Structure 1
C-alpha cells in the first residue's frame, strides 16, 4: 500500500476505521504527505470513533502536513452524537484509478505480525481492473456525506491494467450500511448459503450471527453441505469470546464444525462457498457489522481465487483446535451463567 502511494501520480483516496499513529502509521502519514507535496490530490477519510484509538494524532499529523482529511460522523458533535453507534468500518485505498486495496486491515503496526507486541493476523487484497470504479465510488459517496464536497476521481482505463497475466475474476462491490444499502451484505450471505452444494468455509474474528443467518447455516449443514468456521481462540474483546462460547452448543448441534485459531489474533474476514464463490472485505459476522456499520465487501466468482483462499483456510485450520461438544458442556456453572448473561446483549455487539 505504501509503495502504491509513493508511485501515485494524480489522486489518492484512503478510508480506514483505525489509523494508529505508531511506527507504521507514521510511514503512511509521510507517504501521503509526500504525495500531496508532489501535486497528487489526497483525501483521507477517518471514522469519528476509530480515529480516537490514536487520540486523533494521525488526523492532526496529516492536516499539519497539508493532507485533506475528514471525519465520518464525528463523535464529539452535537449534530452526530445521536448516531454514535453508526460507524464507517470500511477499509479502502484507491490510487489513480489503477489500483485499489480492500479487506479487513486497519493501519496499525499490529499487522506486522513478526515484530508486533500484540500481533493481528489479517487478509487484505490488491485489486486492479474495472471494479476499482465501484470501490472508489463508495469512497466518493462517503466523502460527500462527511463534507458535502463532491470529488472527482480518475476512472479505470484498460490501458492502465498492471497484471502479470490476462487472468480476470468476475467481481462486484457489495456495500452495506444503515441507509439505503441496509442489509445488502446480510441478504447476499443468506442467498449464497442457500445456493451452497458442497462446502461453506468461514473465517471471522467475531461470530455472533442473528437467527436467520444461523438458520441458513444449519439448513445447509442438514442437507449435507460441509460447514466449517474458524474463529480466534481469543479475540481482542473478552466478552465477545464469552458470547461465542455460549453459542457453541447451538451451532455445532447439526454438524457445523468450529475451529479456534491460536494466536496471533485472526482478524481475517473471508467466506468461501463450493469451489467458485468468494466473499472478502470488512464485514464481521455480528450485529454491529451487519446492522449498524457502513461496510464494503467484494463478491468474486473464480475457481483459482477460491482455491488460493481455500489453501489459506486449510493452513489456518492446521493451527486451530476444534470445538468439542463435551468440552463446551463441561464448562463450570459460573462460566455458563457468565457467557449466557452476556449473550443477552448479542443484538448490540
Structure 2
C-alpha cells in the first residue's frame, strides 16, 4: 500500500507539472481558459491531460498559416475599393436616418474581416424547417452551373437523403457539386452515404480533420458554418443544419425553432468567397481558382444592404464577437437576442450590463431544454445574472430554440451560425450576416414577439426557488464556461 501511495503521489505531481507547462506555454490563451484547463487536468489526473490533447490545444501556427494563406477568392478588388472609400468617409451606407451607426459597423468589419458591404440584396428570413428545406430543394433542382454546400451537421436520414439525392441528380446532369461537412458534426453519417454523388461526378469532403476521433487532435476546432451557394446567385446561411430533428421530428426535442436566411444578390458572392476559401483549406488536390462563373455580378435584387462576416480559431480578432459588442454599445433603445447557448465572455457580458444600466431595453430568449446539458446549466447561470441586472429573459417553451439572432433599435440585425458563447467566438469557424435594413430588422422583432407568446419570463421568484442541487450544477458548469 505504501508503494502504491508513493506511485500515486508521484503521478499526481508529474501530472500537475505537465499541466502547468502545457497550458501556460501557449502564451496567447486567456487567463480564464488557463484556469479552466488546469482544473480539468488536476481533477482528472491522466484522463484530463488526454482530454486536453484533443480539446484544449490551439491550432498550430503552421495550420493557421495554411488557412490564412488561402486567397480571398474573387473579392480582393472589392475589398481594396471599399477601403479606399472608407478612408475618405464616402461609403455609400444605407438609410441616412441611422447613417452613423451603419458607417461604424461597415468600417469595423471592412478593417477586421475584409467584409465587403453589398447593396440591394433580396433577403428573406426563414424561421421554419419545412419552409427552409422546401425552398432549398427547389433551388438545388433549378441549379445550372454549380452547387456549393457547407453544413456542420449532415445526417443520413429522410431529409439528408432527399438533399443528397437531389445533388446526385444535378451532378449527373453535369452541374458542379461540392459539399463540405464537419467530420465531428457529421460523425453519424453512413460510410457510403456520398458514394453515388461521387460516382456521378460530385465531391463531398470533410473539413479540417478526420472522422476518427482517436486520431483527430484538432477535435475541438469545428466548422460550425452553414453555407449554400447556387450558381453564385442564391445563398443560404443561418442556424439550420441538415437532419430530421431540424424538421421537428425528434420527439424529445419537439418543434425546432430556428432562423435562416435566403439571399439573392451580390451578398451571395461573399458567401461564395467564404465557401471557396474553406474548400481550398480543406481539400487537397482539388483547389479552386477564380472563375467568373462563380461570381456573376448582378443588379440590385431588393433593398437589403449587408456584410457577411466570418470568424474562427485561424484569426485572433474574433470579428463576430466584436460586431455583437459594437451593436450593443451603439443601441439607444433596445437589444433583442435569441440564442440556444448564452455563455458570454467578460467583455460581452459587461457590454450588455452597461446597456441595461443605461436604460436600454434588453431582452434575451433561450430554450427551455438542453441539447447539451452541461452547456445549458451554464447558460441558465448567466441568464439569471442578466435577470438580476434588469434584463428580461424569456424561456422558449414550444420546443427547442436554436436561432442565433440579435437586433438593435429595430435598425440593424445579425443572423448567422454563431451562438452567444465563447466556443463560437474563439473555437468554432462561424459566419454571420450583418444586415442594414429597417424593414427586415422590424420583421425579426415581430418574430421575437411571436416567440414570446410561447415563452415564459424567467423571474427572480423562479430563480429563488431553485434547489441547492440545481444551483450547484449551474455554478459547477459555469466554472468550465471558458472551454465549453
State the TM-score, normalizing by the size of structure 2.
0.68
1:14 match: 149
The answer on 1:292 being equivalent to 2:427 is yes
Please say if residues 184 and 211 of structure 2, whose CA atoms lie closer than 8 Å, have aligned partners that are also in contact: no
1:207 match: 342
Match of 2:370 among 227, 230, 235: 235
Match of 2:208 among 69, 73, 81: 73
Name the CA shift for 1:174/1:181 in 2 (closer, same or farther; >3 Å). farther
1:262 match: 397
Matches within 5 A, 1:47-66: 47-56=182-191, 58-60=193-195, 62-66=197-201
Displacement, 1:179? 1.1
Match of 2:476 among 341, 346, 349: 341
2:444 match: 309
Q: Deviations over 1:60-105 (max 9, x none)?
A: 5543554201111223479982221000000000000110011111
Displacement, 1:156? 3.0
**Alpha-carbon distance in structure 2 between the residues aligned to 1:263 and 1:60:** 38
2:245 match: 110
Structure 1 segments of 4+ aligned residues over 6 angstroms from their partners: 77-80
Name the CA shift for 1:220/1:11 in 2 (closer, same or farther; >3 Å). same
Considering only CA atoms, is the larger Rg found in Structure 1 or Structure 2?
2
2:270 match: 134
Helix, strand or coil at the partner of 2:188: helix
How many residues end up aligned between the 2 structures?
343
The answer on 1:320 being equivalent to 2:320 is no
The answer on 1:177 being equivalent to 2:317 is no
Displacement, 1:334? 1.5
Q: Deviations over 1:111-152 (max 9, x none)?
A: 223x55344221111101111111000000000000141244
Q: Deviations over 1:265-313 (max 9, x none)?
A: 0111110000210001100011111110000000001110011111100
Please say if residues 342 and 382 of structure 2, whose CA atoms lie closer than 8 Å, have aligned partners that are also in contact: no
Displacement, 1:254? 2.0
Flag structure 2 segments of 5+ consecutive residues without an equivalent. 1-135
Please say if residues 235 and 266 of structure 1, whose CA atoms lie closer than 8 Å, have aligned partners that are also in contact: no
**Alpha-carbon distance in structure 2 between the residues aligned to 1:330 and 1:78:** 41
2:256 match: 120
The answer on 1:150 being equivalent to 2:288 is yes
Structure ranking higher in helix proportion: 2
Please say if residues 342 and 383 of structure 2, whose CA atoms lie closer than 8 Å, have aligned partners that are also in contact: no
**Alpha-carbon distance in structure 1 between the residues aligned to 2:220 and 2:315:** 17
Please say if residues 164 and 194 of structure 2, whose CA atoms lie closer than 8 Å, have aligned partners that are also in contact: no
2:333 match: 198
Name the CA shift for 1:208/1:328 in 2 (closer, same or farther; >3 Å). same
The answer on 1:37 being equivalent to 2:191 is no
**Alpha-carbon distance in structure 1 between the residues aligned to 2:450 and 2:154:** 29
State the TM-score, normalizing by the size of structure 1.
0.93
Task: Report the aligned-residue RMSD.
Answer: 1.9
